[in-house]
Amino acid sequence: MRRALPQVAAWVGGLAASTAFFAVLRWQTSLDQGLSWKSPVGHVWIVSSLSFLALVVGVVAAVTAWQRANARTLWGALGFLSMAGFFFMHGLVTPGFLVGRDYSYLVGFSGRLAVSSAAFCLAASAVEWPEPVSRRLVAWRHAVILTAGAVIAGYAAVGLRAPEILPKLLVTARVFGIGTLIGVTLFAGFAVVRYIVGYVRSGLPMFGAMAIGAVMLVQATYSMHFGKTWTGMFWLYHFQLLFGYSAIGWGLFWEFSRGRARQAIDDLSVTDVVEQLRLGHTESVVSLAAALEARDGYTLGHGERVAALAILIGQEMRLSPARLLALAAGALLHDVGKIGIPDAVLHKPGLLTLEETAVIREHPARGDKMVSTSFSGRVECAVIRHHHERWDGTRYPDGLAGESIPLEARIAAVADLYDALRSNRAYRPAMTAEDALALIERDSGTHFDPRCTAAFVRVVVVWEQRYADDSLVYHERRAA
């Protein structure tokens, strides 16, 4: 149930073509020279188009950062705005356009300033800042945005009205060029990894678009570094940046068409694995979860808590992002088959009869059948169908044992029982964390896969700290 893969695949194809073209021009200097085109006006138009795209994203990000108390969103906004402002200057100082040819070095300086500042800010937006630093950034976010705008405007004023203030020796020094090349590679490369992981976990188009844009930022810096003015590689880095920001603009337009452009910018600041996987739930998953919540009011938030714990266990067991996403959806919907169970059985406060127990035990297979056409893979269905199987093969619906039970279902089984033990029931109060943990450990090797139990033990403290607030999640609804 991935989203927008065909569109992202097209952008990845463009990325591959850009990489190949750079390699050809880098090692075929005659072709690079043959593609020379000296056109100051054309340069200004291309740069202006790129700057406009960056500005559009920057404005949306800045408005979001202005209103939201999120330090990472603020850094992202600064990255887009700095790229738009400094690169626009890169176009305005085109030799012979608004400044004299003696100041042509300002073109390269402005371009490197644009990519360096954008790369640094994108990397900063991916960092989990210490809480005191984050609070200070948020508190001063309005002043930070206004100051950034003033710095960009001040640089523009100096570059256009008094370019001689910027010493040529500083901006043309070899160490400056190498330093920006290394800096952009490291900073933007860090952002690339973060956005790729975010896309694999969440499937949100904006994460994929940002990953492509960050990769193109690195590629363009290499083309800029090795190319000479007006040659093929010189034009290539402009088109690489234009391509990258077009991908980001496309991602923003995609989200805008769904009425969530600003929310998409805010989502980019999410680095927590559980939250990213939660963002990855598609509309059909969310709808099914809402229907289950409305139908089975007995365990408020149970599916969300089981999914969160299952994700932590799966992450501890080094599951791939794709498998974690499937595990998250399956764990969230593990009881979806209860939608078809009569109220008299589902909400019965006392002990169930043998017949009623048999009805309850139908819900894993019923749930598997309900969602079998909704998922592209079988992991989600396996979690829903087999989360009540036991390691010793004595449970339902199929009596599977040991490794024959899908791993994700074994993980969900631990998470499901632990949350059930920690929740209030009509026939008993919630167990303490210590007692519930002891019961899980006692049943390791009989009820649960020992490896899943060991991973659970290592992460349960984190789960209790983040998701086990008694005032929020352990007050269960009763049937009306």
CB neighbours of 16 closer than 8 A, spacing ≥ 6?
Answer: none
Calpha distance 326→381 (Å, rounded): 9
* Contact present, 413 and 420 (Cβ < 8 Å): no
Within 10 angstroms of residue 272's Cβ, the number of other Cβ atoms is 11
Residues pairing with 99 in the sheet: 95
Q: Is the pLDDT of residue 332 over 50?
A: yes
Residue 101: pLDDT band (50, 70, 90) is: low
Residue 444: pLDDT band (50, 70, 90) is: very high
Write the single-letter amino acid at 64: T
Residue 291: pLDDT band (50, 70, 90) is: confident
Q: Which residue has the higher pLDDT, 406 or 301?
A: 406
Calpha distance 44→289 (Å, rounded): 52
* Contact present, 387 and 303 (Cβ < 8 Å): no
Q: Which residue has the higher pLDDT, 173 or 82?
A: 82
Provide the pLDDT for residue 3.
Answer: 47
Write out pLDDT tens, residues 64-85. 888 888 888 999 999 999 999 9
Residue 263: pLDDT band (50, 70, 90) is: confident
Q: Is the pLDDT of residue 343 over 60?
A: yes
Q: Which residue has the higher pLDDT, 13 or 184?
A: 184
Provide the pLDDT for residue 192.
Answer: 94
Calpha distance 183→218 (Å, rounded): 10
Q: Is the pLDDT of residue 474 over 50?
A: no
Q: Is the pLDDT of residue 63 over 60?
A: yes
Query: Cα torsion for 83, 84, 89, 95, to the nearest 10°?
Result: 90
Nearest of 240, 256, 224, 189 to residue 18 by alpha carbon? 240
For 273-473, give the CATH class.
mainly alpha
* Contact present, 259 and 63 (Cβ < 8 Å): no
Provide the pLDDT for residue 273.
Answer: 79
| Mean pLDDT score, 377-399 | 92
Residue 151: pLDDT band (50, 70, 90) is: very high
Provide the pLDDT for residue 4.
Answer: 47
Say what percent of the chain tops pLDDT 90: 44
* Cis amide linkage into residue 397, ω under 30° from 0: yes
Residue 100: pLDDT band (50, 70, 90) is: low
Calpha distance 74→124 (Å, rounded): 10
What are the sequence ranges of the domains in the chain?
5-267, 273-473
Calpha distance 454→351 (Å, rounded): 32
The pTM of this model reads 0.78
Q: Which residue has the higher pLDDT, 281 or 110?
A: 110
Provide the pLDDT for residue 478.
Answer: 32
Q: State which H helix or E strand residue 1 sits in.
A: none
93-122 b/e with 16+ CB inside 10 Å = b? bbbeebbeeebebbbbbbbbbbbbbbbbbb
Calpha distance 430→313 (Å, rounded): 22
Calpha distance 229→231 (Å, rounded): 6
Tokens linked to 137: 């950034």
Write out pLDDT tens, residues 208-220. 889 999 999 999 9
* Contact present, 459 and 316 (Cβ < 8 Å): yes
| Mean pLDDT score, 396-412 | 96
